[in-house]
Structure 1
Amino acid sequence: MQDISNKPARWPLIRQGIVFQFKLGLDALRDILMSPVSMVLIVFDVVMANDQQQSYFNRLMRLGKKSDHWINLFAVDSPNGEPENNKEAADSNVDFWISKIETVVKEQQVDGKLTQSGKDKLQQYFGKIMQNKDKPGSKD
Protein backbone atom coordinates (compact mmCIF):
# COMPACT_ATOMS: atom_id res chain seq x y z
CA MET A 1 0.00 0.00 0.00
CA GLN A 2 1.04 3.57 -0.57
CA ASP A 3 1.89 5.89 2.26
CA ILE A 4 -1.23 7.92 3.17
CA SER A 5 0.89 10.79 4.55
CA ASN A 6 2.10 11.50 0.98
CA LYS A 7 -1.43 12.35 -0.27
CA PRO A 8 -1.44 16.04 0.74
CA ALA A 9 1.83 16.55 -1.14
CA ARG A 10 0.08 15.48 -4.33
CA TRP A 11 -2.51 18.28 -4.27
CA PRO A 12 -0.12 21.00 -5.48
CA LEU A 13 0.80 18.81 -8.45
CA ILE A 14 -2.87 18.11 -9.19
CA ARG A 15 -3.62 21.85 -8.99
CA GLN A 16 -0.75 22.67 -11.33
CA GLY A 17 -2.00 20.05 -13.77
CA ILE A 18 -5.53 21.50 -13.74
CA VAL A 19 -4.24 25.06 -14.22
CA PHE A 20 -2.00 23.89 -17.06
CA GLN A 21 -4.91 22.16 -18.80
CA PHE A 22 -7.03 25.30 -18.43
CA LYS A 23 -4.24 27.40 -19.93
CA LEU A 24 -3.79 24.90 -22.77
CA GLY A 25 -7.50 25.31 -23.52
CA LEU A 26 -7.17 29.10 -23.60
CA ASP A 27 -4.12 28.82 -25.83
CA ALA A 28 -5.92 26.45 -28.20
CA LEU A 29 -8.97 28.71 -28.37
CA ARG A 30 -6.73 31.66 -29.17
CA ASP A 31 -5.00 29.67 -31.93
CA ILE A 32 -8.30 28.52 -33.41
CA LEU A 33 -9.54 32.11 -33.56
CA MET A 34 -6.32 33.69 -34.79
CA SER A 35 -5.65 31.27 -37.65
CA PRO A 36 -8.55 32.26 -39.92
CA VAL A 37 -8.38 35.90 -38.83
CA SER A 38 -4.68 36.05 -39.77
CA MET A 39 -5.37 34.70 -43.25
CA VAL A 40 -8.10 37.28 -43.83
CA LEU A 41 -5.87 40.09 -42.58
CA ILE A 42 -2.99 39.03 -44.85
CA VAL A 43 -5.30 39.14 -47.86
CA PHE A 44 -6.69 42.48 -46.72
CA ASP A 45 -3.19 43.95 -46.27
CA VAL A 46 -2.16 42.74 -49.73
CA VAL A 47 -5.30 44.11 -51.41
CA MET A 48 -5.05 47.44 -49.56
CA ALA A 49 -1.26 47.60 -50.15
CA ASN A 50 -0.63 48.28 -46.47
CA ASP A 51 2.97 48.77 -45.43
CA GLN A 52 4.48 47.39 -42.20
CA GLN A 53 3.17 50.31 -40.13
CA GLN A 54 -0.40 49.98 -41.45
CA SER A 55 -0.50 46.19 -41.51
CA TYR A 56 -3.47 44.67 -39.74
CA PHE A 57 -1.63 41.35 -39.72
CA ASN A 58 1.25 42.91 -37.74
CA ARG A 59 -1.26 44.32 -35.26
CA LEU A 60 -2.66 40.82 -34.84
CA MET A 61 0.86 39.54 -34.18
CA ARG A 62 1.32 42.13 -31.40
CA LEU A 63 -2.03 41.12 -29.93
CA GLY A 64 -0.90 37.48 -30.09
CA LYS A 65 2.27 38.35 -28.22
CA LYS A 66 0.25 40.11 -25.50
CA SER A 67 -2.03 37.09 -25.22
CA ASP A 68 1.04 34.85 -24.79
CA HIS A 69 2.03 36.97 -21.79
CA TRP A 70 -1.53 36.93 -20.44
CA ILE A 71 -1.94 33.15 -20.74
CA ASN A 72 1.61 32.52 -19.44
CA LEU A 73 1.27 28.87 -20.46
CA PHE A 74 4.43 27.32 -19.06
CA ALA A 75 4.64 29.27 -15.82
CA VAL A 76 2.30 27.39 -13.51
CA ASP A 77 2.64 29.08 -10.15
CA SER A 78 2.50 27.11 -6.97
CA PRO A 79 -0.70 27.59 -4.95
CA ASN A 80 1.23 29.53 -2.30
CA GLY A 81 3.02 31.74 -4.81
CA GLU A 82 3.11 35.42 -4.03
CA PRO A 83 1.61 37.75 -6.65
CA GLU A 84 3.90 40.31 -8.22
CA ASN A 85 4.26 43.65 -6.43
CA ASN A 86 3.45 45.62 -9.56
CA LYS A 87 -0.38 45.47 -9.58
CA GLU A 88 -0.71 46.16 -13.29
CA ALA A 89 1.76 43.40 -14.15
CA ALA A 90 0.24 41.03 -11.59
CA ASP A 91 -3.35 41.33 -12.78
CA SER A 92 -2.38 41.07 -16.42
CA ASN A 93 -2.12 37.29 -16.53
CA VAL A 94 -4.22 34.19 -15.92
CA ASP A 95 -2.17 33.07 -12.90
CA PHE A 96 -3.20 36.14 -10.90
CA TRP A 97 -6.89 35.62 -11.60
CA ILE A 98 -6.76 31.89 -10.87
CA SER A 99 -5.10 32.71 -7.55
CA LYS A 100 -7.83 35.24 -6.69
CA ILE A 101 -10.63 32.82 -7.57
CA GLU A 102 -8.91 30.03 -5.66
CA THR A 103 -8.66 32.26 -2.58
CA VAL A 104 -12.41 32.99 -2.66
CA VAL A 105 -13.25 29.31 -3.06
CA LYS A 106 -10.92 28.34 -0.17
CA GLU A 107 -12.51 30.98 2.08
CA GLN A 108 -15.94 29.57 1.31
CA GLN A 109 -14.80 25.98 1.79
CA VAL A 110 -14.69 26.57 5.55
CA ASP A 111 -18.49 26.88 5.53
CA GLY A 112 -18.85 23.91 3.24
CA LYS A 113 -20.66 25.94 0.58
CA LEU A 114 -20.29 28.98 -1.63
CA THR A 115 -22.05 31.88 0.09
CA GLN A 116 -23.60 34.88 -1.63
CA SER A 117 -20.59 37.04 -0.67
CA GLY A 118 -18.30 34.45 -2.28
CA LYS A 119 -20.40 34.47 -5.44
CA ASP A 120 -20.28 38.28 -5.45
CA LYS A 121 -16.48 38.25 -5.15
CA LEU A 122 -16.17 35.79 -8.03
CA GLN A 123 -18.49 37.90 -10.18
CA GLN A 124 -16.42 40.97 -9.29
CA TYR A 125 -13.19 39.23 -10.40
CA PHE A 126 -14.75 37.99 -13.63
CA GLY A 127 -16.03 41.53 -14.25
CA LYS A 128 -12.51 42.90 -13.82
CA ILE A 129 -11.15 40.30 -16.24
CA MET A 130 -13.69 41.39 -18.83
CA GLN A 131 -12.92 45.09 -18.20
CA ASN A 132 -9.19 44.44 -18.72
CA LYS A 133 -9.95 42.76 -22.03
CA ASP A 134 -12.11 45.69 -23.16
CA LYS A 135 -9.77 48.53 -22.09
CA PRO A 136 -8.86 50.94 -24.86
CA GLY A 137 -5.20 50.55 -25.72
CA SER A 138 -5.17 46.90 -24.68
CA LYS A 139 -5.81 45.93 -28.29
CA ASP A 140 -3.79 47.03 -31.29
Structure 2
Amino acid sequence: MDPEITPPRRSLVRDVAVFQLKLLLDAARDLVLSPVSLAAALLDFILSKHQPPRYFPAVLRLGERSEAWIDLWSAGRGAQSNEHVNVDAVLSHVEAVVRDPKGGAHRARVLKRWATRQVAKSRRAEAREATPGETSD
Protein backbone atom coordinates (compact mmCIF):
# COMPACT_ATOMS: atom_id res chain seq x y z
CA MET A 1 0.00 0.00 0.00
CA ASP A 2 1.40 3.40 -0.98
CA PRO A 3 1.94 5.58 2.15
CA GLU A 4 1.50 8.78 0.15
CA ILE A 5 -2.09 7.87 -0.74
CA THR A 6 -3.21 6.71 2.70
CA PRO A 7 -3.25 10.10 4.58
CA PRO A 8 -5.36 11.89 1.91
CA ARG A 9 -7.80 8.99 1.88
CA ARG A 10 -8.02 9.00 5.66
CA SER A 11 -8.56 12.74 5.61
CA LEU A 12 -11.30 12.40 3.00
CA VAL A 13 -13.05 9.64 4.97
CA ARG A 14 -12.85 11.76 8.13
CA ASP A 15 -14.17 14.86 6.34
CA VAL A 16 -17.09 12.88 4.87
CA ALA A 17 -17.93 11.35 8.27
CA VAL A 18 -17.80 14.74 10.00
CA PHE A 19 -19.93 16.30 7.25
CA GLN A 20 -22.55 13.56 7.58
CA LEU A 21 -22.64 14.02 11.35
CA LYS A 22 -23.04 17.77 10.91
CA LEU A 23 -25.86 17.21 8.42
CA LEU A 24 -27.57 15.05 11.03
CA LEU A 25 -27.09 17.73 13.71
CA ASP A 26 -28.36 20.40 11.32
CA ALA A 27 -31.48 18.37 10.51
CA ALA A 28 -32.13 17.63 14.18
CA ARG A 29 -31.78 21.32 14.99
CA ASP A 30 -34.30 22.19 12.28
CA LEU A 31 -36.74 19.56 13.53
CA VAL A 32 -36.51 20.95 17.05
CA LEU A 33 -36.59 24.63 16.11
CA SER A 34 -39.63 24.35 13.85
CA PRO A 35 -42.23 23.64 16.59
CA VAL A 36 -40.32 25.74 19.15
CA SER A 37 -40.40 28.75 16.82
CA LEU A 38 -44.13 28.32 16.20
CA ALA A 39 -44.82 28.09 19.94
CA ALA A 40 -42.65 31.16 20.61
CA ALA A 41 -44.41 33.13 17.87
CA LEU A 42 -47.81 32.11 19.24
CA LEU A 43 -46.77 33.15 22.74
CA ASP A 44 -45.48 36.49 21.45
CA PHE A 45 -48.74 36.97 19.53
CA ILE A 46 -50.81 36.29 22.66
CA LEU A 47 -48.69 38.66 24.76
CA SER A 48 -48.39 41.34 22.05
CA LYS A 49 -50.76 43.74 23.84
CA HIS A 50 -48.58 43.71 26.96
CA GLN A 51 -45.01 43.46 25.65
CA PRO A 52 -43.03 43.55 22.44
CA PRO A 53 -42.13 40.19 20.89
CA ARG A 54 -39.24 38.57 22.74
CA TYR A 55 -39.60 34.79 22.55
CA PHE A 56 -39.54 34.42 18.78
CA PRO A 57 -36.47 36.68 18.39
CA ALA A 58 -34.77 34.63 21.13
CA VAL A 59 -35.45 31.45 19.11
CA LEU A 60 -34.00 33.14 16.03
CA ARG A 61 -30.83 34.07 17.96
CA LEU A 62 -30.58 30.50 19.23
CA GLY A 63 -30.89 29.21 15.67
CA GLU A 64 -28.21 31.61 14.48
CA ARG A 65 -25.81 30.56 17.25
CA SER A 66 -26.45 26.89 16.55
CA GLU A 67 -25.77 27.51 12.84
CA ALA A 68 -22.39 29.02 13.71
CA TRP A 69 -21.68 26.20 16.18
CA ILE A 70 -22.45 23.43 13.69
CA ASP A 71 -20.58 25.25 10.89
CA LEU A 72 -21.68 22.77 8.26
CA TRP A 73 -19.30 23.90 5.52
CA SER A 74 -16.06 24.14 7.54
CA ALA A 75 -14.42 21.14 5.83
CA GLY A 76 -14.31 23.14 2.59
CA ARG A 77 -12.35 25.94 4.26
CA GLY A 78 -9.84 23.72 6.00
CA ALA A 79 -9.36 23.13 9.71
CA GLN A 80 -6.98 26.06 10.27
CA SER A 81 -9.39 28.79 9.20
CA ASN A 82 -11.85 28.33 12.06
CA GLU A 83 -10.69 29.57 15.47
CA HIS A 84 -13.92 29.66 17.49
CA VAL A 85 -15.38 26.73 19.44
CA ASN A 86 -17.86 24.70 17.45
CA VAL A 87 -18.69 21.13 16.48
CA ASP A 88 -15.27 20.79 14.85
CA ALA A 89 -13.54 21.44 18.17
CA VAL A 90 -15.76 18.93 19.95
CA LEU A 91 -15.17 16.31 17.25
CA SER A 92 -11.42 16.90 17.39
CA HIS A 93 -11.49 16.24 21.14
CA VAL A 94 -13.56 13.10 20.64
CA GLU A 95 -11.22 11.90 17.89
CA ALA A 96 -8.20 12.41 20.16
CA VAL A 97 -9.88 10.34 22.88
CA VAL A 98 -10.69 7.54 20.47
CA ARG A 99 -7.17 7.45 19.04
CA ASP A 100 -5.41 7.38 22.43
CA PRO A 101 -6.57 4.34 24.44
CA LYS A 102 -4.08 4.92 27.31
CA GLY A 103 -5.17 8.47 28.11
CA GLY A 104 -8.68 8.08 26.72
CA ALA A 105 -10.53 7.70 30.02
CA HIS A 106 -8.89 10.80 31.49
CA ARG A 107 -9.48 12.81 28.32
CA ALA A 108 -13.10 11.64 28.21
CA ARG A 109 -13.64 13.05 31.72
CA VAL A 110 -11.94 16.30 30.72
CA LEU A 111 -14.09 16.46 27.57
CA LYS A 112 -17.25 15.86 29.61
CA ARG A 113 -16.36 18.70 32.02
CA TRP A 114 -15.56 20.97 29.07
CA ALA A 115 -18.88 20.16 27.37
CA THR A 116 -20.76 20.79 30.63
CA ARG A 117 -19.08 24.20 30.98
CA GLN A 118 -19.89 25.08 27.36
CA VAL A 119 -23.57 24.19 27.86
CA ALA A 120 -23.72 26.25 31.07
CA LYS A 121 -22.03 29.17 29.31
CA SER A 122 -24.52 28.96 26.45
CA ARG A 123 -27.46 28.86 28.85
CA ARG A 124 -26.16 31.93 30.69
CA ALA A 125 -25.82 33.76 27.37
CA GLU A 126 -29.38 32.77 26.43
CA ALA A 127 -30.67 34.00 29.78
CA ARG A 128 -28.94 37.35 29.29
CA GLU A 129 -30.41 37.69 25.79
CA ALA A 130 -33.90 36.71 26.97
CA THR A 131 -33.91 39.58 29.46
CA PRO A 132 -32.33 42.49 27.54
CA GLY A 133 -33.62 45.22 29.91
CA GLU A 134 -32.23 43.63 33.08
CA THR A 135 -28.63 43.53 34.27
CA SER A 136 -27.15 40.46 35.94
CA ASP A 137 -24.73 42.40 38.19
Normalised to the residue count of structure 2, the TM-score between the two structures is 0.76
CA contact (8 A) 2:68 2:86 kept: yes
CA contact (8 A) 1:69 1:93 kept: yes
> 2: CA distance between counterparts of 1:62 and 1:8?
39
- The number of aligned residues is 121
CA contact (8 A) 1:27 1:71 kept: yes
Matched residue, 1:96: 89
- Residues 1-140 of structure 1: pairs in structure 2 closer than 5 A: 4-5=1-2, 6-49=5-48, 50-51=51-52, 54-76=53-75, 81=80, 84=83, 89=84, 92-106=85-99, 108=100, 114-115=101-102, 117-135=103-121, 136-139=123-126, 140=129
Q: Which runs of 5+ in 2 are unaligned?
A: 130-137
Q: Which amino acid aligns with 1:131?
A: R
CA contact (8 A) 1:71 1:94 kept: yes
Q: Which has the higher helix share?
A: 2
Q: Which runs of 5+ in 1 are unaligned?
A: 109-113
CA contact (8 A) 2:74 2:82 kept: no
CA contact (8 A) 2:44 2:55 kept: yes
Kindly report the root-mean-square deviation, in angstroms, between the aligned alpha carbons of the 2 structures.
Answer: 2.2
1:131 Cα offset (Å): 1.9
